[in-house]
Amino acid sequence: MELFIIVLLPLIGAVSNGIVTVINAARGKQVWGEKTAGVIAFGAVAASFVISVYMVFVKLAHSEAISQTAYQWMAVGGLKLSITFMLDHISAVMLLVVTGVSSVIHFYSIGYIHGDESSVRYFSYLNLFVFAMLLLILGDSMPLMFVGWEGVGLCSYLLIGFWYKDEEKAIAGKKAFIVNRIGDFGFLLGMFLIFANIGSLTIADVNHYFHANPGMTFFWINVTAICLFIGATGKSAQIPLYVWLPDAMAGPTPVSALIHAATMVTAGVYMVCRFHGLFLAAPIAMHVVLWIGALTAFFSATIAIFQNDIKKVLAYSTVSQLGFMFMAAGAGAFAIALFHLMTHAFFKACLFLGSGSVIHGMSGEQDIRFMGGLKSKMPHTYWTFLVATIAIAGFPPFAAFFSKDEILWNVFASEYGNKIVWVIGAIAALFTAFYMFRLVYLTFFGEFRGTHEQEHHLHESPKTMTVPLMILAVLSTIGGWIGIPKLLSLGFIPNVLEHYLEHAVSKYGEVHLHHYSHSIEYGLMGLSVAIAIAGWFFAKRKYAAIKGQLPDPATYKGISKLLYNKYWIDELYMKIVVNPLKSLSTNVFLNITDKRLIDGVANGSASSWGRVAMMFSKLQTGNIQSYGFYMIVGAALAVAFIWIIF
Amino acid sequence: MGLISWTLLIPLAGAGLMMFIPGRNLKDGEGASMFGWIALIISVLAMIVSIPLLTGFENGTAAYQFVEKITWIPEFGLDYHVGVDGISILIILLTTLMMPFAILGSFKYIQKRKKDYYIWLLLLEFTMLGALVALNLFIFYIFWELMLIPMFFLIGIWGGPRRIYATVKFVLFTVIGSLMMLVGIIYLALMAKQQLGAFTFTFSELTKLNLPIQPQLWLFAAFALAFAIKVPMFPFHTWLPDAHVEAPTAGSVILAGVLLKMGGYGFVRLAIPMFPQAAVQAAPILQLLAVIGIVYGACLALAQSDLKKLVAYSSISHLGYVMLGMFALTPEAIQGAILQMVNHGISTGALFLLVGMIYERRHTREIADFGGLAYRLPVFSVAFMIITLSSVALPGTNGFVGEFLILLGTFKGAWAYFVAQASIFRLVLMVLASTGVILGAFYMLWMVQRVFFGPLENEKNKALKDLSLREMIVLVPFIIAVFYIGVAPQGCLNKMEASVTHYIAEYQPDVLKQYKIDPKIEHAETPAETELHEPEAEAHH
């Protein structure tokens, strides 16, 4: 019952605001406006959060899982599906992160969306997103998860294209949906493979089956896992399907923070953790996850270094951080993947909301080349942004230090890990620190490079926006403390997270770490800190004391040109996939096969029959002599025929 | 007289009555709109009478229900023999439920010869229902052919500029198919005389015939051609876009909503049960054609610049799924296919209504003439968006349930063949078919973007009016159906379950029957499964 309330509250918010949007539009007057809409939306999510806290800390405190069923959804042949929600320790972590961060961002949105004519619609979409996300998290079977999975994709589509009058934004939304659909295609095939083999699609059955020495062959187990992972690369923006996420920044900034940083994009990571029973039975797939994660982390970090749009930098940073999470999952450290997912939700939401505050203050400007010196004008935004930057860069004792260090350690030491991947990850971490501090220096330090008008309007954002920033900054600072490794705390501070997830993620197979001495472990940890410092140092040297205008990207040459243009991957996809498909459809299928070939045969046979008939109709002359002649010829032929036969 | 006869009689008698009301050439202001209202009342009556068919339908049995049988010419085995079962019930209800909305949707669109128009529409309802309830092959054939006549006039008189070309093409294509079927029917009757001692056309008798494989294949081909043209399957589909584009809105709605279902219904009711071995042999070919239809229809939809043509090509793609599922011969896929026929009726029917509404306002359907409509027509856009999502099979809408069951069941069948014969042909087909989910999203959302988003630039679009109350009343039931079937499809699935189970037991090939899922899972302790049937169960370990 309680789980249903958690899920349904945001839906009620979404539907009521949605209906009001339609009525407002149809009748031309307001049933209720942005204030009420905002309060309803925030209230629904906040209530969900409160009930979630109760469920996780009270009801789930002494049990491994709670599952609640509503009704039978589809029961056909061998398929038995019900609407059942399951809360276990894995979904509990995700549930708290999502409802918690959502509440903060809904609150922020009230200030952010103020004055927009479509604010009611905005809150409706935002609530609908939370509803879909909760379905994804709590659904106990793959199809129910898939409902949420595509539902969040829909909301992402709607929210990216929220300001649809700008066609660019509508196109970005569409792109997100279609690229996600490519991933979903993989998810579906994986689901079908599982169903054809085990006849059940509940998460528990799937994990159990693959853990308990399955009858499926090694090859097909790996294929299944890779199919699911294709789904994850779509949703979580990994190579080769990451291209939609940077474009998704066209949406309102709170949406970028909530959907395209903190929650939805982590669904792929969550899914891999959810099905760890399957992935642990598929070592090749684990390597794929590890490598794709590492390569994505690395390449998107390189792109982030050369972007000038404040949100684009953060977008590529998100892609990169998601890569880190997949590295953890690929190394078998599922708890650590979830740990980084959580810390990332805090600091990246903080960064995005901070960027929203900056853009707000800059009257819509997003290009960091025209910022600078905002430190004194927007102190709250600056401080919170700085804290989150320190956190993502990996300085102790901020959140990401613990999670990122654990990821690198696991990649280094796990039986699924790999030293080369570790090196790639370490370099990506260095780049992370570098591009983040570049962002901070260019935005908040030096002298102001924008127009006078912008300088005149420059102001700190209202409380509704800065308070959420502070909350998230605090979480970015202390969020990592629930996962302090024993090596550092020497056993004095318990590793709460590890302890909490321990059983849930090792239920279907343990992952062994190779044995290394403590000194190596300490050494690697020190190296992590050194990397963060190095990144900060280089960024400071290059950008702290910048004077005058920054170069136009059009003048970029060589590697910076390549990276600024994101390796021209979008253009490549257009050239080799989208355009050929369109031209094949129009030039071959429509104009040749359909019009010439099929219709040609059909119409051709009709008209040739017509011609034959015309030919015979010429015999009907109306002339008695001709008819007489035909009769004689006919009779003669008949006689000849009979004569030949007999 | 039973319920079914009443359902049949009302539109027929209503059409007959309307003939006697004078006013054929009345103009709009002179009271011609009364014909619309009369037709609406008649169709609502038919709808009301048909509802007990659904509520009184017994779920647990595969037998025909509400059966009526009146002997007509016993020497030739010709009876008036009607009934419904789990396979036909939903499509019948779809027909009777959709008709009032199709009529209501044409109030504004049709401006000439209103009386004739509504008479033909009611006759169309009568013939379609007749074909769906017939249990005698001969009666079925009569209705099957009769269906063409109202459609012929509906497109030919009230259609667009190229209506004559479109009607001729539509009639020629279908008649060629039907003639083959007629030959098959006569041959079957002769076989019945030979084997059973008397002429018979009763479905259940004909399925008992013992036909050698060679004639079976020929007969199957004859029937399949007729049905494949009606569906329409690739490469017999080219009549459909022309017919749709030229047809008046209600014509398109009924064409997409019900008429095309006759093809799929024919396969599942006649072609497969009467010639099971032939059907199993031909299944890979039909599945191949179905998959080509899915991908090819989607690609062509992508290439269209006319809204209505785009929807028409999307129909070809969607019906490809239906045929794919039908020939998978697994319970999941067949139930999915039958449900998808209903779903396609709902979503494509609604899409044609919506396209008709915008055409009435702008007298154009060119996508390029629009852009930014969401700003000017918010309610219309919301309705269009919801139906679009149903069409791209977004989970939570009806389209997902159908497509998901079809693909799931088809994959299971393909996997069984892979395990038994190591042939990957069907698996490859499956993967290709699944690409339809990507292409479907592509062409639909691209269209939505070009029509509804972006700046509102065209001056003519700036003066458009949003939906009227009548139009909202037309659309709301479709939207409710979209979500109802999407969220709680079990009600629909229960109706067909017994019939399909029976069907599977009779006609499923051995390869599928013998396939068992990995036995290890059956003994696995799965906490979730034990609690499945106890609502609100909480597990404390």
Task: Give the model confidence (pLDDT) of B410-459 as tens digits.
Answer: 999 999 999 888 888 999 999 999 999 999 999 999 999 999 998 888 88
Mean pLDDT comparison of A629-633, B358-362, B406-410, highest-scoring range: B406-410
Alpha-carbon span A56 to A36, nearest angstrom: 30
> Which of residues 584 through 643 in chain A touch B, CB cutoff 8 A?
584-586, 589-590, 593-594, 598-599, 602-603, 606
> Which of residues 88 through 127 in chain B touch A, CB cutoff 8 A?
none
Q: Is it the case that residue B525 has pLDDT exceeding 80?
A: no
Alpha-carbon span A157 to A610, nearest angstrom: 53
The pLDDT tens digits for A145-182 are 999 999 999 999 999 989 888 888 999 999 999 999 99
Convert A127-146 into a string of H (helix), E (strand) and C (coil): HHHHHHHHHHHHECEHHHHH
Backbone angles phi, psi at A80, to 5 degrees: -125, 110
Residues with Cβ within 8 Å of residue A181, at least 6 apart in sequence? A153, A234, B437, B438, B441, B442
Q: CB-CB: which of B375, B396, B437 is closest to A188?
A: B437
In whole angstroms, what separates CA B137 from the centre of its chain? Answer: 20
A168 inside 8 A of chain B by CB? no
How does strand B78-84 pair with strand A79-88?
unpaired
A23 inside 8 A of chain B by CB? no
pLDDT of res. A578? 83
CB B393 within 8 A of CB A149: no
Q: Is it the case that residue B199 has pLDDT exceeding 90?
A: no
* Percentage above 90 pLDDT, chain B: 48
Per-residue CA distances from A395 to A261, A443, A495, B244 (Å): 21, 21, 19, 65
Between residues B299 and A551, the one the model is more confident about? B299
B39 inside 8 A of chain A by CB? no
> Which of residues 492 through 511 in chain A touch B, CB cutoff 8 A?
none
**Would you mind telling me the total number of residues written for chain B in this entry?**
541
Token representation of residue A137: 């998290």
Nearest partner of B509 among B270, B336, B328, judged by Cα? B328
Nearest partner of A468 among A39, A43, A127, A107, judged by Cα? A107
B337 inside 8 A of chain A by CB? no
Alpha-carbon span A410 to A327, nearest angstrom: 9
Low-confidence stretches of chain A (pLDDT < 50) are: none
For chain B, the average pLDDT equals 87
CB A414 within 8 A of CB A332: yes
A241 inside 8 A of chain B by CB? no
CB B238 within 8 A of CB A605: no
B389 inside 8 A of chain A by CB? yes
Token representation of residue B313: 């090509």
Per-residue CA distances from B217 to A90, B178, B472 (Å): 56, 17, 49
pLDDT of res. B414? 92
Q: CB-CB: which of A64, A151, A164 is closest to B395?
A: A151
ipTM score of complex = 0.90
The position carrying tokens 């699935």 is: B493
pLDDT of res. A341? 92
Alpha-carbon span A173 to A252, nearest angstrom: 12
Residues of B in contact with A603 (CB under 8 A): 169
Confidence of residue B527 (pLDDT cuts 50, 70, 90): very low
Nearest partner of B132 among B225, B337, B325, B269, judged by Cα? B269
User: In a 3-state reduction of DSSP, which class is residue A458?
Assistant: coil
What b-and-e string marks burial along A165-177, b requiring 16 or more CB atoms within 10 Å of the CB? eebebbbbbbbbb
Per-residue CA distances from B172 to A480, B169, B225, B238 (Å): 73, 5, 13, 12
Which helix (H) or strand (E) covers residue B477, if one does?
helix B469-487
In whole angstroms, what separates CA A176 from the centre of its chain? Answer: 9
Q: Is it the case that residue B532 has pLDDT exceeding 70?
A: no
Which helix (H) or strand (E) covers residue B73, if one does?
strand B65-73
Residues with Cβ within 8 Å of residue B476, at least 6 apart in sequence? none
Mutation for B interface: A64, A185, A192, most B CBs within 10 A: A192
- Are A196 and B455 an interchain contact pair (Cβ–Cβ within 8 Å)? no
Q: Is it the case that residue B28 has pLDDT exceeding 70?
A: no
Alpha-carbon span B382 to B466, nearest angstrom: 11
Token representation of residue B155: 């497109």
CB A483 within 8 A of CB A402: yes
Cα first-last separation, chain B: 60
Q: The dihedral of CA A463, A464, A469, A471: what is its sign?
A: positive
A198 inside 8 A of chain B by CB? yes
pLDDT of res. B529? 36
Per-residue CA distances from A178 to A201, A426, B316 (Å): 25, 33, 21
Confidence of residue B530 (pLDDT cuts 50, 70, 90): very low
pLDDT of res. B487? 92
Q: CB-CB: which of A185, A200, A213 is closest to B435?
A: A185
A356 inside 8 A of chain B by CB? no
Between residues A604 and B407, the one the model is more confident about? B407
pLDDT of res. B520? 59
Alpha-carbon span A377 to B478, nearest angstrom: 54
Backbone angles phi, psi at B306, to 5 degrees: -110, 130
**How many residue pairs from chains A and B have C-beta atoms closer than 8 A?**
240
Nearest partner of B359 among B167, B32, B108, B165, judged by Cα? B108
